[in-house]
Structure 1
Amino acid sequence: MAAGRISTARSLTSPSILSPRLQQIGMYLRTASHRSTARRKTRWQVAAAIFLVLWGTLAVIVSLQKLFDEEDVTRTAYAETDAPNSPRGNCSPPAINRFPTDVFTQEQRRHGAVILHVIATLYMFLALAIICDDYFVPSLEKISEGLHLQPDVAGATFMAAGSSAPELFTSIFGVFISRDDIGVGTIVGSAVFNLLFIVGLCGLVVKTAITLTLWPLLRDCSFYLISVAALAISLYDGKVHWYEAVILVALYCLYVVLMYFNPQLSEGFTRCFPSPAGSENKEHNEETVLITSVAEKGTEGKTLETPSDDAVTTQSKETVSDEPESPFSVPSGLWRRVLWVVGLPLTLLLAGTVPDCRRDRWKRWYPVSFIMSVAWIGVFTYILVWMVTVIGFTVGVPDTVMGLTLIAIGTSVPDAMSSVLVSKEGEGDMAVSNAVGSNVFDILVGLGVPWFVRTAVVQTNSVVSIQSGGLVYSAVTLLSTVLVLLFTMWLNRWRLDRKLGVICGCLYALFITLATLYELNVFGDFNPPTCPGSYTLMIELRK
Structure 2
Amino acid sequence: MGPSLIVGCLWFLLIGFMFFAQHHVCDAYFVPAINVFVGKMKRSDNRWLQRWGEEAVAGATICALGCNGPEMFTNLISLYTGSDAGIGVVVGSEIFNLLIIVGLTISAAPVLPLALERVPFARDCLFYALSIILLYWALLDRKIESFEAWVLLAAAGIYVTCVYFTDDFVQCIPALQPAKVEVQDVESPSKRKGKMHGVEVEVEEILHGRMVDAHGAGGAEKWNLDATEHGIYAESAEVEQEIKGKNRGSIGFQFEGGDAMLGSVLKYKDLKEVVLMDMGVINLEFIHNLQHITLRLTVEDAVKRAELLDNIQEFSLQRPWVHGYDATIRGAWQHLRHSMMSKDPPLAKLLAIPHFLIDGLLKLTLFAVDVKDTRKEGRWPLCFVGAMFWLAIFSFLMLEIANEIHYNIPALPNSFLGITVCAIGTSFPNAVASVLMAQQNKPAAAIANALGSNVQNVFLAMALPWVIFQLQHGGKPIDQNVAGINEGVLWMSGTLILVVFFVFLPPFCKLSYAYGPVLVSVYLAYLVVTSGETFHWWPPLVK
Shift of residue 288 of structure 1? Answer: 7.7
Aligned partners of 2:68, 2:106: CA distance in 1, in Å?
Answer: 23
TM-score (norm 1): 0.69
Aligned partners of 1:433, 1:119: CA distance in 2, in Å?
Answer: 33
Structure 2: state its 5+ residue gaps: 42-48, 193-202, 215-226, 241-247, 253-279, 282-294, 300-322, 326-331
Distance 1:514 1:292, change over 3 A: farther
Aligned partners of 1:376, 1:191: CA distance in 2, in Å?
Answer: 23
Which segment is superposed worse, 323-332 or 504-513?
A: 323-332
Distance 1:461 1:346, change over 3 A: closer
| Residues 208 and 497 in structure 1, CA contact (< 8 A), matched pair in contact too | no
Identical aligned residues as a percent: 23
For 1:167, the equivalent position in structure 2 comes to 71
For 1:267, the equivalent position in structure 2 comes to 171
Q: 1:137 aligns with which of 21, 28, 31?
A: 31
For 1:227, the equivalent position in structure 2 comes to 131
Shift of residue 403 of structure 1? Answer: 0.7
Shift of residue 116 of structure 1? Answer: 2.6
For 2:237, the equivalent position in structure 1 comes to 307
| Residues 83 and 414 in structure 2, CA contact (< 8 A), matched pair in contact too | yes
Shift of residue 145 of structure 1? Answer: 4.3
Q: 1:120 aligns with which of 1, 10, 14?
A: 14
CA deviation vs aligned residue, 1:456-499 (integer Å, no higher than 9, x gap): x1222421111235312320231121011110132252334431
Q: 2:206 aligns with which of 286, 293, 298?
A: 293
Shift of residue 438 of structure 1? Answer: 0.9
Aligned partners of 1:295, 1:473: CA distance in 2, in Å?
Answer: 33
User: Higher strand fraction: Structure 1 or Structure 2?
Assistant: 2
Aligned partners of 2:76, 2:88: CA distance in 1, in Å?
Answer: 13
CA deviation vs aligned residue, 1:59-102 (integer Å, no higher than 9, x gap): xxxxxxxxxxxxxxxxxxxxxxxxxxxxxxxxxxxxxxxxxxxx
Helix, strand or coil at the partner of 2:461 = coil
Shift of residue 352 of structure 1? Answer: 2.1
| Residues 143 and 477 in structure 2, CA contact (< 8 A), matched pair in contact too | yes
For 1:7, the equivalent position in structure 2 comes to none
Aligned partners of 1:441, 1:214: CA distance in 2, in Å?
Answer: 20
Distance 1:247 1:512, change over 3 A: farther
Shift of residue 291 of structure 1? Answer: 7.8
The answer to whether the aligner puts 1:477 opposite 2:469 as a matched pair is: no
| Residues 140 and 162 in structure 1, CA contact (< 8 A), matched pair in contact too | yes
Shift of residue 279 of structure 1? Answer: 1.7
| Residues 121 and 388 in structure 1, CA contact (< 8 A), matched pair in contact too | yes
Distance 1:492 1:194, change over 3 A: farther
TM-score (norm 2): 0.69
Aligned partners of 2:493, 2:510: CA distance in 1, in Å?
Answer: 22
For 2:359, the equivalent position in structure 1 comes to 347
Structure 1 residues 251-400: aligned runs within 5 Å: 251-268=155-172, 271-273=174-176, 275=178, 278-280=181-183, 282=185, 284-287=187-190, 293=206, 302-305=232-235, 307-308=237-238, 320=296, 322=298, 326=325, 328=334, 334=345, 339-354=351-366, 355-396=369-410, 397-400=412-415
Aligned partners of 1:166, 1:225: CA distance in 2, in Å?
Answer: 23
Shift of residue 502 of structure 1? Answer: 1.0
For 1:236, the equivalent position in structure 2 comes to 140
| Residues 146 and 477 in structure 2, CA contact (< 8 A), matched pair in contact too | yes
Aligned partners of 2:204, 2:137: CA distance in 1, in Å?
Answer: 43
Distance 1:514 1:411, change over 3 A: same
Q: 2:521 aligns with which of 488, 500, 506?
A: 506
Shift of residue 417 of structure 1? Answer: 1.1
Helix, strand or coil at the partner of 1:503 = helix
Shift of residue 385 of structure 1? Answer: 1.1
Shift of residue 306 of structure 1? Answer: 5.5
Structure 1: state its 5+ residue gaps: 1-104, 528-543
For 1:249, the equivalent position in structure 2 comes to 153
Aligned partners of 2:523, 2:372: CA distance in 1, in Å?
Answer: 37
Helix, strand or coil at the partner of 1:106 = coil
Aligned partners of 1:385, 1:473: CA distance in 2, in Å?
Answer: 22
| Residues 398 and 520 in structure 1, CA contact (< 8 A), matched pair in contact too | no
Shift of residue 510 of structure 1? Answer: 2.7
Aligned partners of 2:399, 2:118: CA distance in 1, in Å?
Answer: 38
For 2:449, the equivalent position in structure 1 comes to 434
Distance 1:473 1:341, change over 3 A: closer
Which of 1 and 2 has greater Rg?
Answer: 1
Aligned partners of 2:180, 2:514: CA distance in 1, in Å?
Answer: 19
Shift of residue 517 of structure 1? Answer: 4.7
Q: RMSD of the TM alignment (CA)? A: 3.3
For 1:204, the equivalent position in structure 2 comes to 107
Aligned partners of 2:26, 2:104: CA distance in 1, in Å?
Answer: 22
Distance 1:136 1:322, change over 3 A: farther
| Residues 170 and 382 in structure 1, CA contact (< 8 A), matched pair in contact too | yes
